[in-house]
Chain A
Amino acid sequence: MIVLKFIGYGFTAIIIGLLFMGIGRKYTARIQRRYGPPFWQAFIDVTKLFSKQSLSHNWIMDFGILMGFAGIVGTILFMPIGPWHFFSLMNGNIVIIMYFMTIGSLGMAMGVSASGNPNSTIGISRALTLMVGYEIPFVIAVIGLIFVSKSSLLGTMVSLQSGGIMNWNIIKYPFGFIAVEMALQAMLGEKPFDVITAPSEIASGPMVELSGKMMGLAFLQHAAQIFLETGIVVNLFLGGANNIWEFFLKQFVLFILSLTVNAISPRFKFEDAVKWLWTWPTVFALIQLLIIILT
């Protein structure tokens, strides 16, 4: 039974994530006054990737990429998706989620750097430094919320926000939401912060040596990551949801917001990206924390 539920969770995350990517590409195309690919383009891409021949340099590359994808799918189980939650006891412990996500990035980093291509390693060193960059504002904002809701479980945070829009965290703690929204932009790797897979500078960064099946797994991991990160922010600030579709809708709104910024903004130089993340979002998060402590 658990296994079925597990597979159900995994597939919802992947399908919704791919759906978001497809609609996102169409949305960006429409911003650029182009017709854009069909919304199920992401599914076609994934099937094509899995049908292609693939290569790997050593067993660590396969193991790493599998671990990356497993890390992200595993984290989704800890996050309450609307009314569904997989674990009753540890329903959405924010500390577990943040640390389980690092398995995803560690796995991908290990797999990709085993390929021995300097482009991918430069991409990984940038990804890790950026991770430190966006973790700070995110953590300060989350700490504020934990103090307020007296527990680090997303489930309790969601129940605290139930009942009408007025007591959503986005209304009660606007600064925290702004900080987390900026951090989300960097988490998803969208345009101002896509220093990790900068196609022109380091030839699509970590994904340089991934082909066919490997690239397919990396694609699915990115889709699941979109689902996960937007889901966390929905639970934290937009008060979760009492039915599934409302949850997906809220996630979609957040994703579209970050895509709008992505469609129109150039790319940061790498040091500036980290410095920017340590100034503006952190300032907002600290203001939020002071407000919570003082009141």
Chain B
Amino acid sequence: MISNILLYTMIAAVISFALGQKLKAVRWSFSALFLGYVGFQLYGLYGQWGMVETHNIFSLGSINFSLNFGITKLGWFFAFFTTIINIMIWIFSIVKNMNEKEERGINFLWILLAGSNLAIFFSVDWITFFIAWEIMTWTSFFIITPGWKNSFKAANWYFILSMFGAYAMLVGIWWLYATPAIHTLNIASSIALLAKLSITAPGTVGIIIALFVLSFFAKSAVFPFHPWPAEAHAEAPDDFSPYLSGIMIKYGLYGILLFIVPLFIQIMKVNPNIAMVNGIPVYSYILAWFGAITAVLGTYLAIVSNDMKKLAAYSTVSNIGYAVTSMFILSSAGVTGGLFHVVNHAVFKSAIFLSLGAVKFRTHEREMHKLGGLATKMPITFLTFLLGIIAAAGIPPLNGYASKWIIYQALLSGHFPFLTTMIFLASTGAFLYLFRALHSIFLGQLPRKFNNVKEVPFLMQIPMILGILSMLGIGYAPGIVLKPIGLAVKAMGLTPMTVENTLMVGKLSSINTAVVSSTFIGAFFFAFAFYLIGKKRHHVEPLDNYTAGQDPEEFGLTPELYHFALKFYEPVKNIFRPIEEKLNIKNYYRALVRNANSFGATLSEMFKLSGAGSSMIFVLGLVVIILAGWML
């Protein structure tokens, strides 16, 4: 069943490419409709857990290579919600791509990407997982750089990190297959065997886990690899960045949830003699700290960034940090919280990116201080962005709060004081840059050149309105999403949280989200009653403002000058300036690049030297290979 879905996606990709240059709208609406059909099929597959389809391709000696897809609860859940968000984004890009030149290639690659997206979630053995992972990497690379010169430099960074991650995973898979004790490619069985092996040979298990964690962290931009999303998202086409930060960055988290977390749980059960901290293995605690550092770093970098898409990208990095921290707590609340936050983040982040795309569609401007006052001109976009940042800051009536609440339950009941402080610092900091984006783009003074900016066409508004409704819906009744998550958590061997439609019961306290939202609405009417007392307020245009008595025209005051947005958080930057100079990841990478270049240059220099030079390198290389073969 799954394999013919994937087959149809390949065919659909080719058909969409075949459609002529003029039929832009037809192409994108065809792909949106096709994905709707795929979503419907997926919905049909809900019940059939564990159904595996194997397709042997060829056999080489004793090993027979076969692609096999199976439906796991976790895989289905990820596949379904990513497809829905993808449909939303494609409706947006129908109109957006009307005046794009080379959008034919993007659509072809994007459908392939959607196909590989499904393949990743449904792959049961490592080989298919790796193949799908590779297709996903190079298709997304070519979409990010549709021929624009500066986007190549940005995507270059993303490509190198993904390649690094992919090779680490390939070595890991090979190592898994090579060790006699495991010798299997099936993911589920590899977890069980690895857990047993950890008693006898913890070293090898540690290395394998490290390799896989490296590749998943590289993909999901966790601490050491956190700078790449800023460039990649900023340069990507406007309708692809919601996909990039809503879904693409979640593959690493899917990998962690698929392999690393159940492995740690098994090890905790099976292997008595591992160092435990607060009831979880030491290395899981360290990885949780990686997540916390990402959260804080992402928040700080977002506060000081001035480009709106970079800001949203850094906020994605910080939200990934929350999810990673709560996953590595290994308690049922932790994993549920992490998973739920992944879904919530996908929803509200794609809403935010869609509204940013709409703003860019109308103003062709990316620097925040050049924008301002667009709220009255583009109300729907403003409302989407407003609800997006309320959800992203985790403020109650919306969905961001539900997952943050579960994460806090997990962290607090698991007795992790410093992790909770870091996460809380990151989430209060999140409120800083989110409000800055809201103010610099939508509130404040409207520059004169945007006086006749109109709202985006209705077709673009549909996905935004859908985003708003889903945010409010999940915020009001998180049970809808939490039930399938409960199934996935049970599959990992943890007892899921007791959840009804609007009630969430945690260890420390329980919360009924419906009551929380209705209190807010009640309080709003209470405030509105006060608002009705007294005379009706009268309207005043934006520039008739308090300017200490000076009248703007004579003072030479233009709306652009009067819009305070450029150095919004200069004090925060001053506070962190001494720390920022010393430890900056980017200089570290630049130093790495310089060393690599110099090494390559010396090598080629020696090679061109003369016959002696090249033979010497040849001998040196031979020796190195023999040594490596003998040692392993």
Interface residues of A (CB under 8 A from B): 3, 6-7, 10, 50-60, 62, 66-67, 69-71, 73-74, 77-78, 87, 89-90, 93, 95-96, 99-100, 102-103, 106, 109-110, 113-119, 121-122, 124-126, 128-129, 131-132, 135-136, 139-140, 143-144, 146-147, 150-153, 203, 208-209, 212-214, 216-217, 220, 270-271, 274-275, 289, 293
Residues of A contacting B531 in the complex (Cβ-Cβ under 8 angstroms): 62, 66, 213, 217
10 A-B pairs with the lowest CB-CB distances in the bound complex, closest first: A74-B523, A118-B564, A70-B523, A70-B527, A70-B524, A69-B527, A54-B537, A116-B542, A152-B508, A50-B534
- Whether, in the assembled complex, B484 has its beta carbon less than 8 Å from a beta carbon of chain A, the answer is no
Q: What would 28 A/B residue contacts be, using CB atoms closer than 8 Å? A: A52-B535, A53-B535, A55-B539, A62-B531, A90-B509, A90-B516, A99-B404, A100-B395, A100-B396, A102-B393, A102-B395, A103-B520, A106-B395, A109-B435, A109-B439, A110-B443, A114-B375, A114-B444, A116-B445, A117-B545, A119-B546, A121-B564, A122-B564, A125-B568, A139-B420, A139-B421, A147-B417, A209-B546
Residues of B contacting A114 in the complex (Cβ-Cβ under 8 angstroms): 375, 443-444
Q: Assess the B522–A62 pair: CB atoms within 8 A.
A: no
- Whether, in the assembled complex, B429 has its beta carbon less than 8 Å from a beta carbon of chain A, the answer is yes
Of the candidates B417, B431, B572, which one forms a contact with A106 in the assembled complex, judged by CB atoms under 8 Å apart? B431
Taking A50-B533, A89-B515 as known contacts, 19 extra A-B pairs with beta carbons closer than 8 A to each other, sorted by chain A number, are A52-B534, A53-B535, A55-B538, A56-B540, A62-B537, A74-B520, A87-B515, A90-B510, A95-B408, A99-B396, A103-B396, A117-B545, A125-B569, A135-B425, A143-B412, A152-B412, A213-B537, A220-B530, A271-B574
Which residue on chain A has the smallest CB distance to residue B446?
A116
Which residue on chain A has the smallest CB distance to residue B528?
A66
Of the candidates B509, B520, B534, B571, which one forms a contact with A126 in the assembled complex, judged by CB atoms under 8 Å apart? B571
Residues of A contacting B572 in the complex (Cβ-Cβ under 8 angstroms): 129, 274
Pick the most buried of A3, A114, A144: most chain B CB atoms within 10 A of its CB: A114
Residues of B contacting A90 in the complex (Cβ-Cβ under 8 angstroms): 509-512, 515-516
Of the candidates B373, B429, B538, which one forms a contact with A53 in the assembled complex, judged by CB atoms under 8 Å apart? B538
Q: Assess the A125–B393 pair: CB atoms within 8 A.
A: no
Q: How far is the CB of A74 from chain B (nearest CB, A)?
A: 4
- Whether, in the assembled complex, B111 has its beta carbon less than 8 Å from a beta carbon of chain A, the answer is no
Of the candidates A60, A113, A125, A135, which one forms a contact with B424 in the assembled complex, judged by CB atoms under 8 Å apart? A135
Q: How far is the CB of B235 from chain A (nearest CB, A)?
A: 28
Q: Assess the B420–A143 pair: CB atoms within 8 A.
A: yes
Bound: A99/B424 CA distance, A:
11
Q: 1/0 per residue B366-388: CB within 8 Å of A? A: 00000001011000001000100
Residues of B contacting A71 in the complex (Cβ-Cβ under 8 angstroms): 520, 523
- Whether, in the assembled complex, B108 has its beta carbon less than 8 Å from a beta carbon of chain A, the answer is no
- Whether, in the assembled complex, B541 has its beta carbon less than 8 Å from a beta carbon of chain A, the answer is yes
- Whether, in the assembled complex, B438 has its beta carbon less than 8 Å from a beta carbon of chain A, the answer is yes
Q: Assess the A60–B443 pair: CB atoms within 8 A.
A: yes
Q: How far is the CB of A106 from chain B (nearest CB, A)?
A: 7
Bound: A144/B569 CA distance, A:
31
Residues of A contacting B608 in the complex (Cβ-Cβ under 8 angstroms): none
Known contacts: A113-B444, A139-B421. The answer to whether A128 contacts B435 by CB under 8 A is yes
Interface residues of B (CB under 8 A from A): 373, 375-376, 382, 386, 390, 393-397, 401, 404-405, 408, 412, 415, 417, 420-421, 424-425, 428-429, 431-432, 435-436, 438-439, 443-445, 508-512, 515-516, 519-520, 522-524, 526-528, 530-531, 533-535, 537-543, 545-546, 548, 559, 562-565, 568-569, 571-572, 574-575
Q: How far is the CB of A283 from chain B (nearest CB, A)?
A: 14
Bound: A57/B526 CA distance, A:
23
Of the candidates B382, B412, B545, which one forms a contact with A116 in the assembled complex, judged by CB atoms under 8 Å apart? B545
Q: How far is the CB of A10 from chain B (nearest CB, A)?
A: 5
Residues of B contacting A74 in the complex (Cβ-Cβ under 8 angstroms): 519-520, 522-523
Bound: A128/B431 CA distance, A:
8
Which residue on chain A has the smallest CB distance to residue B386?
A110
Known contacts: A55-B539, A90-B509. The answer to whether A132 contacts B435 by CB under 8 A is no
Which residue on chain B has the smallest CB distance to residue A128?
B432
Q: How far is the CB of A6 from chain B (nearest CB, A)?
A: 6
Q: Assess the B523–A73 pair: CB atoms within 8 A.
A: yes
Q: Assess the B420–A77 pair: CB atoms within 8 A.
A: no
Residues of B contacting A136 in the complex (Cβ-Cβ under 8 angstroms): 421, 424-425
Bound: A271/B381 CA distance, A:
35
Of the candidates B373, B516, B540, B575, which one forms a contact with A96 in the assembled complex, judged by CB atoms under 8 Å apart? B516
Bound: A67/B438 CA distance, A:
16
Bound: A77/B516 CA distance, A:
10
Bound: A126/B531 CA distance, A:
27
Interface of A is mostly: helix
Which residue on chain B has the smallest CB distance to residue A98?
B424
Known contacts: A6-B522, A69-B530. The answer to whether A132 contacts B510 by CB under 8 A is no
Q: Assess the A203–B548 pair: CB atoms within 8 A.
A: yes
Bound: A87/B503 CA distance, A:
14
Which residue on chain B has the smallest CB distance to residue A50?
B534
Pick the most buried of A67, A113, A153: most chain B CB atoms within 10 A of its CB: A113
Q: How far is the CB of B312 from chain A (nearest CB, A)?
A: 18
Bound: A203/B375 CA distance, A:
25
Q: How far is the CB of A218 from chain B (nearest CB, A)?
A: 11
Residues of A contacting B435 in the complex (Cβ-Cβ under 8 angstroms): 106, 109-110, 124, 128
Q: Assess the B511–A96 pair: CB atoms within 8 A.
A: yes
Pick the most buried of A70, A135, A147: most chain B CB atoms within 10 A of its CB: A70
Pick the most buried of B432, B535, B546, B565: most chain A CB atoms within 10 A of its CB: B546
Pick the most buried of A56, A67, A125, A208: most chain B CB atoms within 10 A of its CB: A125
Residues of B contacting A57 in the complex (Cβ-Cβ under 8 angstroms): 539-542
Known contacts: A135-B424, A271-B575. The answer to whether A212 contacts B431 by CB under 8 A is no
Pick the most buried of B394, B516, B571: most chain A CB atoms within 10 A of its CB: B571
Bound: A53/B534 CA distance, A:
8
Residues of B contacting A66 in the complex (Cβ-Cβ under 8 angstroms): 524, 527-528, 531
Q: How far is the CB of B443 from chain A (nearest CB, A)?
A: 5
Known contacts: A90-B512, A124-B439. The answer to whether A212 contacts B540 by CB under 8 A is no
Q: Assess the A217–B568 pair: CB atoms within 8 A.
A: no
Bound: A122/B438 CA distance, A:
14
Known contacts: A125-B436, A146-B412. The answer to whether A93 contacts B509 by CB under 8 A is yes
Which residue on chain A has the smallest CB distance to residue B429?
A132
Residues of A contacting B429 in the complex (Cβ-Cβ under 8 angstroms): 132
Bound: A153/B413 CA distance, A:
13
Known contacts: A102-B431, A114-B375. The answer to whether A67 contacts B524 by CB under 8 A is yes
Residues of A contacting B565 in the complex (Cβ-Cβ under 8 angstroms): 121
Q: Assess the B528–A153 pair: CB atoms within 8 A.
A: no
Which residue on chain A has the smallest CB distance to residue B540?
A55
Q: Assess the B417–A54 pair: CB atoms within 8 A.
A: no
Q: How far is the CB of A290 from chain B (nearest CB, A)?
A: 9
Q: Assess the B571–A271 pair: CB atoms within 8 A.
A: yes
Q: How far is the CB of B556 from chain A (nearest CB, A)?
A: 15
Q: Assess the A58–B375 pair: CB atoms within 8 A.
A: yes
Which residue on chain A has the smallest CB distance to residue B436?
A125
Q: How far is the CB of B418 from chain A (nearest CB, A)?
A: 8
Bound: A90/B409 CA distance, A:
14
Residues of A contacting B516 in the complex (Cβ-Cβ under 8 angstroms): 90, 96, 100
Q: How far is the CB of A269 from chain B (nearest CB, A)?
A: 9
Residues of B contacting A274 in the complex (Cβ-Cβ under 8 angstroms): 571-572, 575
Q: How far is the CB of A271 from chain B (nearest CB, A)?
A: 5
Which residue on chain A has the smallest CB distance to residue B416?
A143
Bound: A129/B541 CA distance, A:
29
Residues of B contacting A208 in the complex (Cβ-Cβ under 8 angstroms): 546
Of the candidates B421, B511, B520, which one forms a contact with A93 in the assembled complex, judged by CB atoms under 8 Å apart? B511
Bound: A203/B548 CA distance, A:
9
